[in-house]
Structure 1
């Protein structure tokens, strides 16, 4: 009986991908709206176009009652998606599977019940993708005046 229960669980765990994603984050000295404006401006100042602004915090709050949750995750949370044609071409010429990292994203969030605003992005894997991480880091530091 034990083997019939444990074997499928072990097979699932072995087959499942291991996600070692880490976020690189910075605390903003400004409120949410000012931080969002600064991040948007820094992306545009870098010569990039924002493809999508995902209002993740609004969506999660709007759907909270439908999901049966009483947890307010965010006071505010937005995610900006964009790409760099030059850098994207470079990283995908190095490894076509780097497509999984595109578009690049920077988030601005304010956790429920907190005044603290966090700006960040996903850490990129070793190799050529560290150039994308440097781009994201530069944009965030520019936005925050660091």
Structure 2
């Protein structure tokens, strides 16, 4: 990326640096693992979940449910005889797009199995100060439109 800047004066350096710095410091490139696509950031879990809530609403969508998976696993850890802390925090946001869902299901009614759509936010004890946000990858075809929406929302949550 090439930037041309013709700023002068005491604030020029600060403005120039602000232009070069991404929103939400520490945002890594997209990665994939076990059929999921995710982004890594140094933003806090609370900041990323707040950003995700806003990004979903800004798409004109309604959050159907937030699954507090991390809390449930921690709460039941001793009950199932485990000493392993899997997540510091892990929430999964469920929502749907009436327009996009209708479009992908009119193309193939079996796409119903993918609805509602989910985006997760989590932190792991092995990587303090790192938050992940992501979603499952979908098969080729119409569902790639949903995947594109999930990617757009995930990136917006991080300020990308």
Corresponding position: 1:104 with 2:117: yes
Residue 70 of structure 1: how far off its partner (Å): 0.3
TM superposition score normalised by structure 1: 0.84
**Residue of 127, 130, 133 corresponding to 2:144:** 130
Distance in 2 separating the partners of 1:29 and 1:136: 20
* Aligned-partner SS, 1:74: coil
Alignment partner, residue 93 of structure 2: 80
Q: Map Cα deviations across residues 91-119 of structure 1 (whole Å, 9 max, x no partner).
A: 11111110110000000000124321000
**Residue of 65, 83, 107 corresponding to 1:70:** 83
**Residue of 128, 139, 143 corresponding to 2:157:** 143
Corresponding position: 1:43 with 2:72: no
Q: Which has the higher helix share?
A: 1
Q: Map Cα deviations across residues 28-73 of structure 1 (whole Å, 9 max, x no partner).
A: 2311111110011101111000000000000000000001000000
Alignment partner, residue 4 of structure 2: none
* Aligned-partner SS, 2:91: strand
Distance in 1 separating the partners of 2:52 and 2:46: 10
Answer yes or no: is the 8 Å Cα contact 1:27–1:118 preserved in 2.
yes
* Aligned-partner SS, 2:76: helix
Consecutive unaligned residues in structure 1, runs of 5 or more: 1-20
Residue 87 of structure 1: how far off its partner (Å): 0.3
Corresponding position: 1:59 with 2:95: no
* Aligned-partner SS, 1:139: helix
* Aligned-partner SS, 1:67: coil
Consecutive unaligned residues in structure 2, runs of 5 or more: 1-33
